[in-house]
Amino acid sequence: MADLEEILKDVEPLVAQSLQAVSNAAGLDELDRIRVAALGKKGSISALMAQLGSVPADLRKEAGARLNTAKVAVSEAIEARKTALEEARLDERLARERVDVTLPARAADIGRIHPVSQTIDEVVAIFGQMGFAVAEGPDIEDDFHNFTALNFPPEHPARMMHDTFFLPEKADGTRHLLRTHTSPVQVRTMLKQKPPIRVIIPGRTYRCDSDMTHTPMFHQVEGLVIDKTTHMGHLKGCLIEFVKTYFEVDDVPVRFRPSFFPFTEPSAEVDIGCSRAGGELKIGAGADWLEILGCGMVHPNVLRNCGIDPDEYQGFAFGMGLERIAMLKYGIPDLRTFFDSDLRWLKHYGFVPLDVPTLSGGLTR
């Protein structure tokens, strides 16, 4: 027969010791070890309960109640501690894994936008604001669209000046060619669309030429406006506005110099003011001029070749080299580097993908 006093004298210290251990437990694993040590099959409180059977029947009830109270006290303390530890663990995890949604997106590792693409986006943003739509045409052209419809007479030296890449001759004696300028898309646009027309045409162009300032493939952007009363004043206003917005310089002087193109009459070349003081090129008022584009009023022959009556309609056109205006704006010294596919160059001169140029948000940031 177990001695009741003997059993119960151990209960209080056991409970006190367990509660102490529970409140000191630093983690869930440790807490579980304490639970097993007190309440598990071979635990200290369970061991006392196992002795109940040998307590005299008249005392067993009271002894059982006291042991049960002890067991409940320890298991409730363990539960409470468990909840507190779990909450602390969750808080710590939430703090550790917190995402600051106001941080800027990390764009550095996802590549760069090539200066040619950036320049096309900027030009499209500027002319888009003025109401121009974007038109496109094929890189492989025929003689009609690239030359004849644009009023280049047969055997005209301008055809030679373009250093054309011809494709092999076909059975009928004609040869396709790689377009030497974006102007054939003027022809394609006028042939399929009735005036009013207001388009810009960015695209690749090809000439058999290669040095510091020429590559066999390069890019141009063409503009075409056809309406009933469009005149040279509109051409000037439109291009001056473009130059100021594109170069982000308000006081840039713009000069229209008489020139010749078969497809425009009158024709002009446009120069912008710059300074080369201290060996550094700066766009804006200065002692020097830089040529940036060709333009003019669309020649009546061209309108006629495209099925538009020159007695009813008139308009202007312009064309410029995209690499050239990119080199001037971004200080890129050598044209050939545009097409070297050198990632270090792209990292240096390229643009962050998320900075899409807009007039409201800024062309370049």
Which stretch in 30-38, 77-85, 291-299, 327-335 sits in contact with ligand DAH by CB under 6 A? 291-299
Question: Which CB, 183 or 189, lies closer to ligand DAH?
Answer: 183
Instruction: Rank residues 126 and 346 by Cβ distance to ligand DAH and give the closer one.
Output: 126
Stretch that binds ligand DAH, among 40-48, 58-66, 110-118, 312-320 (CB under 6 A): 312-320
Min dist. Cβ of residue 240 to ligand DAH (A):
16
331 exposure class (CB count in 10 Å sphere: 0-12, 13-18, 19+): exposed
Contacts (CB under 6 A) with ligand DAH, residues 180-239:
181, 183, 222
Q: How far is the CB of 322 from ligand DAH (least distance, A)?
A: 12
Least Å distance between CB 150 and ligand DAH? 8
Residue nearest ligand DAH by beta-carbon distance:
319
Size of the site for ligand DAH (CB under 6 A): 11
CB of 298 to ligand DAH, least distance (A): 7
Q: Tell me the closest approach of the beta carbon of residue 288 to ligand DAH, in angstroms.
A: 22
Identity of the residue, 18 or 183, whose beta carbon is nearer to ligand DAH in the bound complex: 183
**Which region, judged by CB under 6 A, interacts with ligand DAH, from 22-30, 134-142, 289-297, 327-335?**
289-297
* Amino acid making up residue 82: K
Footprint of ligand DAH on 126-185 (CB under 6 A): 181, 183
Query: Is residue 318 a contact residue for ligand DAH (CB under 6 A)?
Result: yes
For residue 311, the minimal CB distance to ligand DAH (Å) is: 21
- In the list 43, 273, 296, 357, the residue contacting ligand DAH (rule: CB under 6 A) is 296
- Which residues, 6+ apart, have CB-to-CB distance to 303 below 8 Å? 190, 226, 309, 310, 313, 314
In whole angstroms, how close is the CB of 99 to ligand DAH at the nearest point? 51
- Stretch of 97-105, 108-116, 278-286, 314-322 contacting ligand DAH, by CB under 6 A: 314-322
Give the separation between CA 271 and CA 56, rounded to whole angstroms: 116
Residue 335 CB, nearest approach to ligand DAH (Å): 15
Site track 243-262 with ligand DAH (rule: CB under 6 A), x = hit: ------------------x-
Chain contacts with ligand DAH (rule: CB under 6 A): 181, 183, 222, 261, 264, 294-296, 317-319
